[in-house]
Chain A
């Protein structure tokens, strides 16, 4: 598996560290049922068999956080962009 870093080009997966699903959003502090919202955000996952948006860190390269869309059935990388470019 190779990930095409926007800064460094196509690099071996060993240079990257995986964090997990990019869908994580911290619930707003004034949300009702805050405990339930946190349980949902921290513990529950879609875990799809198919395209998955996820966060990778290029620790052995440019130190950028990337948002990678990858097919979990084939490991095919479908899209890579900077995590900071992620639309809400």
Chain B
């Protein structure tokens, strides 16, 4: 069923009895051309673009639980393409362009809201580094504007401009950045892929690989063996454990990142704001809750929950930036497991195992990449060569010394 004002009116007049499920909950077939392990945003968008762009519809997306309940449902919904390095920037800008046309492409309301992303700076040195990043963005055709303190005060009068230790001097604004509705992104991609014949198989945990002449020929799952010519992993958070079943060790550590939402308040924060003197970012959802977060906890974890010192640190940063939120109560907090790569950038590449492809290492920036990640991973799976904008996201870049280290932290994943 195509969603439109007419389908809505028709359903409204008939008591909303005719809505069909948005996508098909499939049982696994014995074999497919392509299997994608992981039914999150990245896996489902890969399936969508495999079917739409490359005409490959004999595809199964295998999800161990229910789709969208991993990191796709545990993020803070921010979209942006304000990257410095030439190996990263065009990739994230492709993602931004796909976000801009996503609702029309999927015929689904993913609530893309280009309300702007503002990174604040608090010192001359930080301003200079933001000028450099802004210039790099503009040279790649991405929008970036440098604001001074007066501009920021006009946009966000409630910030603490009187802070003596970390005065707000201005900010780097990407007006096209913003937020999208994370669950709707998952459901929209699932609906579009399913509509083109992709099988979405839930409660189907991959427990091992099938081998044939040194290459993977399928997967063992909790719902039986399934064969495929090509297998793509899109299981960020658990990439190491799935890759381990294929005998691979990867340049990835799993870390926990916490996020928070406050009780609903009246409209206050018109854009996404990040604090430059600590790690704190905040936006306001359409329901009115402040959605915010900060640093990862900093130790290896698969627990999907964090510890209190990080909660305190994030809330202190928030108070330093906007003291007005001091009496707003935190409604919920949660933790997601991040694939922290050794240089802070993702990997979309073949693996040393023939037939097995890797999409992972998203650190805590996977949500914004969802469309381009799927687009480029589908390209790799269909044509066996990297997409033009994902050429730098190679697995062998660590051995070759071609790192994509935006922060210049070196191989210390908890600092990226």
Binding site for B on A (CB under 8 A): 1, 12-14, 18, 20-21, 35-36, 39-40, 42-49, 52, 54, 70, 72-75
Contact = CB atoms under 8 A, between A and B. Distances in A.
Nearest to B254: A47
Given A45-B252, A70-B299, 7 more contacts: A18-B298, A18-B414, A39-B398, A45-B253, A47-B300, A48-B240, A49-B302
B238 interface: yes
B299 A44 contact: no
Q: Kindly name the residue among A13, A46, A72 whose own CB sees the greatest number of chain B CB atoms within 10 A.
A: A72
Contacts of A54: 299-300
B254 A72 contact: yes
B254 A43 contact: no
A45 B240 contact: yes
B251 A45 contact: yes
Contacts of B253: 20-21, 45, 47
Contacts, number: 66
B361 to A, nearest CB: 11
B249 interface: yes
Contact of A46 (B238, B249, B399): B249
Interface of B: 238, 240-241, 249-254, 298-303, 307, 309, 342, 398-399, 411-414
Contacts of B249: 40, 44-46
A39 B249 CA distance: 12
B392 to A, nearest CB: 16
Given A18-B414, A20-B414, A52-B300, A43 B251 contact: yes
Given A14-B309, A20-B414, A49-B238, A72 B399 contact: no
Contact of A45 (B250, B298, B301): B250
A42 B411 CA distance: 7
Nearest to B414: A18
A73 B254 CA distance: 11
